[in-house]
Amino acid sequence: MSDLLSIISASDKRRNLLILLNNGPKEWDEIKQILKVTSTGMLPQVKILEEEHLIERAGKQFSLTSMGRVLTAHMTPLIRTMDVFDKNKKFWQDHNLDALPIELLMDIGDLGNYQILETADEEIFGISAFLDNINKARTLTGISHTVHPRFPDFFLNLAKKRVKMSLILTPGVFKIIQEKYRHLLNEGLKLKSADVYVLKEDVKFSNITTDTYFSLSLFYNNGVFDSKHDVISYDPSAREWGNRLFSYYLNRAEKIEADD
């Protein structure tokens, strides 16, 4: 391990200070307040970063050096990614991440301050919390590998409320919708607010992104769909990640038209 990498990775305080200063110079009192540190605990770490010429001070103000800015710019995406995995390491280890496009997986740090929403054992097929989170959406994109009996009516009602909606269905889901809910599908497709697409091949996840909310449902590594856990986030970066995921598959899907 290089000396610089060791210096950064061996101390959360040093790492956090570099990330903070990446947003611009800060005065000492501001640094202590934001990072919730004391002078006694932080000053030794500041000295190390100054000796390595990663930060510099002018009076009470601290800023990154040119070298510090370059290093921090490369370091920040890695730290964001590690934070995502470290937060729920077993969850990510147990689920099939290979189902996600590699270019999106490489940016999984964009999920930010996400949570794992767990459905209680007593209501293993309960989706009320999920529906509550998207009920007030103004815009919505989604990729669906599963269909719940409540979905067709729910999404049709959203479209009737003029929520701008685009949904991508897997071939299996589209077949079920055609066989069991064809009249609801046609009713929705006749609305200007709703577009529905079908993929040519299967994907092993489901995703919803609205103007305020992001949700991702994954399969376990053994091929079983995890109906109890959703990755959710309200961070703008997570919603942007979700929209990128939708755009990736939109280019691989065919638009469905209403029956005459």
Euclidean distance between CA atoms 83 and 184, whole angstroms: 42
Q: Where are the domains of the chain?
A: 3-78, 88-255
Return the minimum-mean-pLDDT range out of 146-150, 157-161, 242-246: 146-150
Percent of the chain with pLDDT over 70: 96
Q: Would you tell me which CATH number, out of the four given (3.40.50.2020, 1.10.580.10, 1.10.150.130, 3.30.870.10), belongs to the domain 88-255?
A: 3.30.870.10
Q: Are 99 and 218 in contact (CB under 8 A)?
A: yes
The pTM is what?
0.82
Q: Are 230 and 117 in contact (CB under 8 A)?
A: yes
- Strand order in 164-169's β-sheet? 115-118, 229-233, 214-218, 205-210, 139-144, 164-169, 194-199, 253-255
The alpha carbon torsion through 67, 69, 74, 79 (nearest 10 deg) reads 120
Tell me the β-bridge partners of 220. 95
Report which residue type is found at 107: D
Task: Give residue 238's pLDDT.
Answer: 97
Average pLDDT over residues 111-121: 86
Q: Give residues with Cβ within 8 angstroms of 69, minimum separation 6.
A: 22
Does pLDDT of 235 surpass 70?
A: yes
Q: Would you tell me which CATH number, out of the four given (1.10.10.10, 3.40.720.10, 1.10.8.640, 1.10.150.120), belongs to the domain 3-78?
A: 1.10.10.10
Task: Give residue 203's pLDDT.
Answer: 95
Instruction: Determine phi and psi for 250, rounding to 5 degrees.
Output: -60, -35
Euclidean distance between CA atoms 220 and 46, whole angstroms: 44
Torsion sign, CA atoms 135, 141, 145, 149: positive
Q: What's the pLDDT tens digit per position in 45-71?
A: 999 999 999 999 998 899 999 999 998
Residue that the structure tokens 């889901």 belong to: 173
